Amino acid sequence: MEFIPEIDAYIEAQDEVAQAALHELRRRLAEALPTCYEKISYGMPTIADKKVVFHYSAAKKHLGIYPFPETIDHFINQVGQYRTGKGTLAFPYGTEIPYELLITLAQYNYQNQA
């Protein structure tokens, strides 16, 4: 996956804690989904192929993940504690972020595109 400058700028506009989480997630997504591409959608970093695969964002106190309600429902036993809305997961900064789980969600979306 080729990194785009718009997402570089998005990440650099965040505080240091958020930047670290965003850089790590972005790196892992690029490794796990090398044929996908990046774009900004709804004002946040997005991974796409034929369709959107995964959105993520920096909030003041957490890393926001938007993997689609159906994906959250499928993995509810693993992500239920992080669910803050129908299609939203929040991972507080200062806690261990389960990057491997986030990659699993993104790969699930990639494999199940309509």
Fold annotation for 5-111: Aspartate Aminotransferase, domain 1 (3.90.1150)
The C-alpha atoms of residue 24 and residue 72 are separated, in whole angstroms, by 21
Q: Which two tokens stand for residue 37?
A: 């591409």
The larger pLDDT score, comparing residue 50 to residue 61, is at 61
Tell which residue, 3, 22, 1, has the closest CA to residue 12.
22
Domain boundaries along the sequence of the chain: 5-111
Does this model's pTM top 0.85? My answer is yes
| Confidence at 50, pLDDT banded by 50, 70, 90 | confident
| Confidence at 80, pLDDT banded by 50, 70, 90 | very high
- With H, G, I as helix, E, B as strand and everything else as coil, classify residue 101: helix
Amino acid at residue number 101? L
Q: What is the mean pLDDT of the chain?
A: 96
The pLDDT value recorded for residue 68 is: 93
Q: Which residue has the tokens 């490794």?
A: 31
pLDDT surpasses 70 at 104:
yes
Tell which residue, 108, 99, 111, has the closest CA to residue 29.
99
Q: How far is CA 69 from the centre of its chain?
A: 14
